[in-house]
Amino acid sequence: MKSQVLAQRNLDAVQVVREFLTVDTPAAWFQAAAENLPVLLMDHANCEKKAASTALSMMYRYVEYPHLLQKMSSLAREELRHFEQVLELMTDCGIVYEQINSARYAQGLHQLVNKAEPRRLVDLLICGAVVEARSCERFAGLVQVLPEKVSDLYRSLLNSEARHFQEYLALAEGVNQHSGGYEAFGARVNDFLAADAELVTAADSQLRFHSGVPAA
């Protein structure tokens, strides 16, 4: 019964995410990910560290938002736990953690971030929501093509990624309303969704967790 409840929650989470995103990850990316598991896991570990770092940086910069501080504190702890889980999995799989460069995905999204407050904070939160949503969507696809040990971990992360996406988006909307950031909040979200769609469907020079399809 417990496994059935979890399975239903995962289905619900993925459905919400797919209704938010404008495109699905191409099937070719999942095939490349299955063929390059060490690189996928190393970059996934890096992504979890970066997510925790982003949350902590917001806690330092935006102390005037108590609700944001609480959410970012909780999120940072959870992301670091995810990092630990990926690290443990890599050890179990005999994968040595090496330094690898980042995908252009995060940089591509951050090019849209406004440099002036309060729009900068709104944009950072929208960006966080899009990244978490894309992560959830990729976890859902990866569980279908990766070894059972890896799939089990990714299946367990689905709900938290979907929750993070919703929390980031709710924070962005709340800050926007409180600070008078953007008159058309939905249109601003669509700007980031359009960038996400372009980045994940375009050809990329290398496989990363948030990359486009690696070119042959």
Rounded-to-integer distance, Cα 76 and Cα 86, Å: 15
User: Strand, coil or helix: what is 204?
Assistant: strand
Closest CA relative to residue 105, chosen from 211, 192, 214: 211
Q: Where does the pLDDT of residue 5 fall: very low under 50, low under 70, confident under 90, or very high at 90 and above?
A: very low
- Region of residue 94 (phi > 0: left; psi between -120 and 50: alpha; otherwise: beta): left
Report pLDDT for 216. Answer: 64
pLDDT surpasses 90 at 13: no
Long-range contacts of 138-145 (CB under 8 A, 24+ apart): 138/25, 138/209, 138/210, 140/10, 140/14, 140/17, 141/25, 141/30, 142/30, 142/33, 142/34, 144/30, 145/30, 145/31, 145/33, 145/34
- The reported pLDDT for the residue numbered 14 is 85
Residue 1 predicted with pLDDT over 70? no
Please check the confidence at residue 43 and state whether its pLDDT lies above 90: yes
List the helix and strand counts (H, then E) for the chain: 8, 2
pLDDT above 90 for 67 = yes
Share of the chain above pLDDT 90, in %: 90
- What domains can you pick out in the chain, each with its CATH number? 2-214 (1.20.1260.10)
What is the Cα–Cα distance from 96 to 87, expressed in whole angstroms? 9
